[in-house]
Chains A and B, each alone.
Chain A
């Protein structure tokens, strides 16, 4: 998606290892979000950021941490990966909340074995 990239696109990792996913934007948008998509659940909010160093928890934040040291980068860390964290992870950005659609990245497919 233009202006927002996620890396890596695919990752396989072992249970108990730490994993970091990266979301990079070139839009200079203030708000950034991490969601996970699972069958039967749609997309669920993990963490979000409303500015550099300003982050907060979403509905499924256990086992995840985030950091935002620069406007353009929002990192999601799985401190000790578990099989229940196998999922597709999406990052989203918006300049103004409630003003319209959010722009999503293409996703990271994470498999924890």
Chain B
């Protein structure tokens, strides 16, 4: 049972354009969401997060949007750069006894072409 889903295995974007990565979740107990970026042969690195009390969070070129009613979040990268080419994972955590334990999506491979 995949509680966090990234339905697009890959995305290809031209340098300077916007990249939009999507993530859907099914567990209504999730209240904290994160995006990680991963290069080959390295561990994931934290990009940006959002709490369920917000619907948007920005950090430089990265913006995360949360639509709780649709159980959907997205990561916008503007403008996209070739160095952004990596695998992007969304992750979620819930309160209670699940607090702090992350559930990850399958990942989306982003390729930014010069």
Contacts and interface: CB of A to CB of B under 8 A. Distances in A.
Which of A41, A102, A105 has the most B CB atoms < 10 Å from its CB? A102
Interface string B38-82: 000111111101000000000000000000000000000000000
Question: Chain B: interface residue count, which band?
Answer: 20 to 34
B102 interface: yes
Interface residues of A, number: 26
A57 to B, nearest CB: 10
Interface in B64-104: 89, 91, 93, 99-104
A107 B43 CA distance: 6
A42 B42 CA distance: 14
Nearest to B104: A42
Given A90-B43, A104-B44, A42 B105 contact: yes
B34 interface: yes
Given A42-B4, A43-B89, A43-B104, A101 B36 contact: yes
19 contacts: A1-B42, A31-B100, A42-B6, A42-B89, A42-B105, A42-B106, A45-B102, A48-B100, A58-B101, A59-B103, A90-B43, A94-B100, A97-B93, A98-B99, A101-B36, A101-B46, A103-B46, A104-B43, A104-B45
Question: Across chains A and B, which 10 residue pairs bring their CB atoms closest together, nearest first?
Answer: A101-B46, A97-B100, A104-B43, A42-B104, A43-B104, A42-B106, A104-B44, A106-B43, A105-B43, A42-B105
